[in-house]
Amino acid sequence: MKKVILVAGARPNFMKIAPLMHALKGNTHIKPVLVHTGQHYDITMSGQFFEELNIPAPDINLEVGSASHAVQTARIMEGFEQVCINEKPDFVLVVGDVNSTAACTMVAAKFDGIKTIHYEAGLRSGDRSMPEEINRLVTDAITNVFFTTSADADENLLKEGIAPERIFMVGNLMIDSLTANLKKAEDTSLNFKLLNKNAEVAANALSKYGVMTFHRPNNVDNELMLKKLVKIWAKVSEKIPLIFPVHPRTYKNIQNFGLQAEINSYKNLYFIEPLGYLQFINLVKNAAFALTDSGGIQEETTFMNIPCLTVRPNTERPVTIWEGSNKLLKISEIETEIDLIIQGKGKKGIVPKFWDGHTAERIVKILEKM
């Protein structure tokens, strides 16, 4: 029996690992070992996702916690090296583009007899100012086997000199999780307690609303930029309510920059705590649009055919633009684009190839043949 270590470190990883854990349950050819690096470590950012997605408790938790990119990466490498020594896996499969992805690949690649596998390989934004782009490039430079989500990722890898027989377009594990949990998500409550207000918002009582997610450093770490965004959110909320499950990083900067009182003054700008996976999917499913600088939501909205406005100069998921409902824009364009959506002219699209809920099955079949 072959042994594969599956690495999860941050929230987006869990939605990708869950379908694989379910597909490998009871498999007589492959034994999975789930390693949680602890990169996201609190119950809201991590533990709740394991419970909701029915992922078994990790076999190993490195508990590295929060730190700078360099320190966190070093801690993960130190802990994961010992895991590889003790477990002696045949394969190490990493997902996504977080620090855990690159760190565990760098460790495993130096062991004789361990093959490294990168799911979501080949995604490129072309923007090396993003830590995630560095992690993607480092990981793919030393990976043995590449699982991709779309044709553009295959093309990127081929341009970088990767042999085609090492590349497998398998589809999107995020969509596996989405399709498996959509019905359960629809049964969750859409009543949310507001941050810093003794009140609640009932999203299902609103005729229309938009969902926001913002956490990129260039949007929320810069005081002038964040203040500009707050002004735009306020103007938009006068036309359509906005619901924002606030990322801890963004919430911390809102406090540091003294913006909470201003935000509280806008009656249709609803700031709520980070949500579990099921509630968040239900919130997005019933939204008129998503306004974001995040990654995974570009894919989820594409599958659900909900307009997605991504406030970034680039995306590593261009298929969501070419085929899906996603659109890149500058902050100066936010109001105009939302006006179009309110008028029923928001962007629609199609579901990309293999985004069908069966990606994990395809991956397991490939692993069994390796």
Look at residues 233, 211, 232, 215 and name the one whose alpha carbon lies nearest to residue 294. 215
Which residue is it, tokens 């007589």?
A: 28
3-state secondary structure 119-188: ECCCCCCCCCCCHHHHHHHHHHHHCCEEEECCHHHHHHHHHCCCCHHHEEECCCHHHHHHHHHHHHHHCC
User: What residues pair up with 146 in beta bridges, in sequence order?
Assistant: 118, 167
- State the chain's mean pLDDT as an integer: 94
Q: What is the pLDDT of residue 47?
A: 62
Q: What percent of the chain has pLDDT over 70?
A: 98
- The 10s digit of each residue's pLDDT in 283-318 is 999 999 999 999 899 999 999 999 999 999 999 999
Lowest mean pLDDT among 5-9, 42-46, 289-293: 42-46
42 or 171: which carries more pLDDT confidence? 171
Question: How would DSSP label each residue in 79-90?
Answer: HHHHHHHHH--S
Encoding tokens for residue 280? 């968040």
8 A C-beta contact, residue 23 and residue 361: yes
The position carrying tokens 């999107």 is 172
**Which residue type does 28 have?**
T
State the Cα–Cα distance between residues 20 and 55, nearest whole angstrom: 10
Helix axes 173-186, 277-285, angle to 10 degrees: 80
Per DSSP, the three-state class of 335 is helix
pLDDT confidence bin for 66, thresholds 50/70/90: confident
The identity of residue 155, as a single letter, is E
Per-residue model confidence as pLDDT tens digits over 116-139:
999 999 999 999 999 999 999 999
Rounded to an integer, the average pLDDT of 311-333 is 96
| Active site members | 215
Answer whether residue 44 shows pLDDT above 80.
Answer: no
CA distance 243 to 143: 40
Q: Taking the chain, what is the end-to-end CA distance rounded to the nearest angstrom? A: 12
C-alpha–C-alpha distance, residues 179 and 7, integer Å: 22
